[in-house]
Amino acid sequence: MTSSRMRHRFLSDSALTWLLSWATKLFLFVLPWHTVWIYKERLVGGSKWQYGTLQYYASEAVLWAAAGLFMIWFWRRYRDGDKNTKRFSWSRDRVWLGLCLVFALYAVISPCWAADSDLARQQALHLLEALVVGWLIALGPLSWAQTAFWFAAGAVGPGLLALGQFGAQAAPGSVWLGLSPHMAAEPGASIVAGETTGRWLRAYGSFSHPNSFSGYLVLVTSVFLRASLRLKRSYWSYAFVLLTTAAVFFTFSRSGWLGFLLSLILFAVYCRRARLWAGLPLAVAPLILFCLLALIYAPAVSTRLTATSAAEERSLTERADGYMSAFQVVRRHPWLGVGPGNYTVFLQSLEPGMAGFAYQPVHLAPLLALAELGGVGTAIGLSMLGAGGWFLYREKKGPGMLGVEGLLVIILPTLPLILLDHYLFSSYSGLLMLTVAGSAAVRLSFSTDRPPVIPTTC
């Protein structure tokens, strides 16, 4: 780099890297808090239509500030590299980035055929933001350990809040923190109810529903456990995993329980196969606590798992009906789908006359994606994920298959969340927290701290 170029820079490279690093850390920390500006609410059948709300989250402002810094940072590193590295050639990482751009273009144009273009633009923006987060984590200046630490740090406040909510059997509201009030006795609250158990309010944390909160904790814990093998373990590490264990349990989310237990078991198996014996207590201690809580609250656990109460039976019936409706949507719009965020819009024409709260996305994220993005968008998305998986596999660390198994500790626990619920695709926070975990796994796979897509001769 010439001295004249350095003089004309508003920010030095070190200052820019520092700002970008802290903007990314701040985003990871505030992601679970849903401070939001709602600029349009809609009523259907006299009640609020939740999935028709137009809103903008405070964390989005942090994200786009980080995105602007990232573009400048990335361009500088590319421009200042060796001229020979700027000759374009296809590589695994560039194929992945190219497919990301194609998917972004599809998301941008998809509102053109959506019935509600405002909702489609909002959800398309969330899809673009998920791509931005992926690039920030996978290609940005934060190390794997820093990403895991700040992702976990953001979960401490919601975890403590969840324990307080379950203990008090009330969730206080806060406009500034994006919290809605909930009481066990009030209609519409997420509860565990049975003839012998009474009504128990499930822990919401800082989320709008216990299921999405449990999914967040599963993803955070999976990333933290894998990172703990590189970090200096302390009493704080054990305190954190025990906190997330209790918080996940009190959500009484079946998919969250399954994903969390799968995460702990996979981590224990990985530690044993890799002979990383020091990591085993971090898996065993949460398992013991979870089993103790299950014994203490056995009637409530039985109610959730056996679905004998009227509330649980109604929940399962609604899920089954949702699958049938989703297949009808796919049959009518097989190629381009109904548009991002427009699934519940189409349901209103398919099943008119219901209250707004009754229109819910199907509880199967891949099927919801197929219904909204169509076969074309889903194929592009799967190609993007496939290219990322190919890139990740070829860049893996560790002897033999141990590198792959270490990544599966993060990836496999997401399967129950994806296959048993919709929030990892339908909601802003779900999309972004899934992307953080996935891109953290990609970052873990790099053989050097600098991603290959950036010229290595800078």
Q: Does residue 299 contact residue 197 with C-beta atoms inside 8 Å?
A: yes
Higher pLDDT, 66 or 187: 66
458 within some domain: no
Please give the pLDDT value at position 445. 66
Does any domain span residue 419? yes
pLDDT band at residue 268 using 50, 70 and 90 as cut-offs: very high
Amino acid 410: pLDDT? 86
pLDDT band at 340 (very low <50, low <70, confident <90, very high): very high
455 in a domain, yes or no? Answer: no
Range of the domain at 72: 3-445
Q: Which two tokens stand for residue 437?
A: 């975990």
Least confident of 191-195, 384-388, 392-396: 392-396
pLDDT at 456 over 50: no
Predicted confidence (pLDDT) per residue in 191-214, tens digit: 998 777 789 999 999 999 999 999
Burial group, residue 1, by CB count within 10 angstroms (0-12, 13-18, 19+): exposed
User: Above 90 in pLDDT, residue 434?
Assistant: yes
231-266, pLDDT tens digit by residue? 666 788 999 999 999 999 999 999 999 999 999 999
Q: Each residue of 70-101: pLDDT tens digit? A: 999 998 887 776 555 555 566 777 888 899 99
Output the CA–CA distances (angstroms, integers) from residue 274 to 265, 375, 451, in the order listed: 14, 40, 25
Q: Which of 337-351, 399-413, 419-433 has the lowest mean pLDDT?
A: 399-413
Q: Which of 438, 442, 445, 443 is nearest to 130 (CA)?
A: 438
Q: Is residue 152 part of a domain?
A: yes
With 70 as the cut, is the pLDDT of residue 401 above it? no
Closest CA to 294 of 241, 259, 255, 245: 245
Mean pLDDT over 396-405 rounds to 52
- Whether the predicted pLDDT of 398 surpasses 50: no
Residues of the chain with pLDDT > 90, as a percent, come to 67
pLDDT, residue 457, reads: 37
Model pLDDT, residue 454: 47
Instruction: Please name the residue ranges forming H helices in 333-427.
Output: 343-350, 365-394, 402-411, 414-420, 423-426
The total number of structural domains in the chain stands at 1
Percent with pLDDT over 70 in the chain: 87
Q: Does the pLDDT of residue 359 top 90, yes or no?
A: yes
pLDDT band at 458 (very low <50, low <70, confident <90, very high): very low
Residue 149 has pLDDT above 90, yes or no: yes
> Which pTM does this prediction carry?
0.92
Phi, psi of 194 (to 5 degrees): -160, 165
Inside any domain, residue 452: no
Angle CA 447–451–454, to nearest 5: 140
pLDDT at 447: 46
| In-domain check, residue 373 | yes
